[in-house]
Every structure is written in C-alpha cells, then in structure tokens.
Amino acid sequence: MKTQSEVSINSIEQLSEFAEAFSKKLKHGMIIFLNGPLGSGKTTFVRYLVSGLGITEVASPSFTLINEYKGGGLRFAHADFYRLKSAGELHEIGFFEYINSGEYIVLIEWAELFKETLPEPDFVLSFANESEESRKVTQYEF
C-alpha cells in the first residue's frame, strides 16, 4: 500500500468536493473498490464523481449489475456485486472485458464479496456511517 488516509465528510456538499478531488486521480485501466454498508454513500459518491464530467444519468447498478458512463473523455464501468450469486455470472456478462481492455475506470460496490476473482485495486474507498449526513471515508492507495 502506498498511502492510507481518512476524511470526515459532513454533508452532501463535502461529498461532492471529495468526489471532484478524487476524480483528478483517475486514469483508464484503474480499478476502485467501494466498500461500506448499505446506504453509506457508495452510489452517491459515484454520482458526484461522474457528474463533474457532465454525466448526470447515474442509476444504482443494484439491478443491472453494471452501468457504463462516458463523458469528459473518460469511460466508467460501475458495478454492484451485492446481488451477484456467483463469480461465474461476472464471466457471463463480460465483466472482465471492462477490466482487461484497460479502457475503463472500473468502480465496484461490494467488491469484497468476490474479491478473490478480481485483480488488485488501485484504490479502495471504505465508507462508514457516522450520522445521517456524516460519513467517514478511509482511502487506501495501492
């Protein structure tokens, strides 16, 4: 691990600022795990991350498993493994093509559920609920 840091985020506005700063670190081919319990802000973080690039249609990928966004010269694949039953499904839906192509920034909610099937991430962001509006985010860079 290169670095580990912790930030307190006390509002949606602060989440938005954090997401914007984080977006500057991203390059195609990167893999980011988003950890943390239900409702901790993983999808909301992705929404703010990509909205800075002019992408506004961000649905939770809970049902579709993977959403793709393109904007600002970047391509994102946003996955949620919460409902995934087996790693085999990931092969069936072509998930690894997003990773292997090196042409996407791959964001994965609940990655830890199938972490053994994934390459090492570039970043892990771990969200924790502190109060209704406050989150603690621990960022690990590898």
Please give the residue ranges that form the binding site for Mg ion (CB under 5 A): 42-43, 60, 109
Question: What's at 86, amino acid-wise?
Answer: S
Q: Is 78 in the site for ligand ATP (CB under 6 A)?
A: no
Q: Is 42 in the site for ligand ATP (CB under 6 A)?
A: yes
Q: Is 51 in the site for ligand ATP (CB under 6 A)?
A: no
Q: In this structure, what token pair is assigned to residue 77?
A: 């694949």
Residues 6+ apart with CB under 8 A from 100: none
When CB distances are held under 5 to 8 angstroms depending on the partner's kind, the choice from ligand ATP, Mg ion, none that residue 41 binds is: ligand ATP
CB of 109 to Mg ion, least distance (A): 5
Radius of gyration of the chain (CA): 14
Give the largest Cα separation in the chain, rounded: 40
CA 61 from centre of chain: 11
Q: Is 35 in the site for ligand ATP (CB under 6 A)?
A: no
Stretch that binds ligand ATP, among 39-47, 50-58, 69-77, 92-100 (CB under 6 A): 39-47
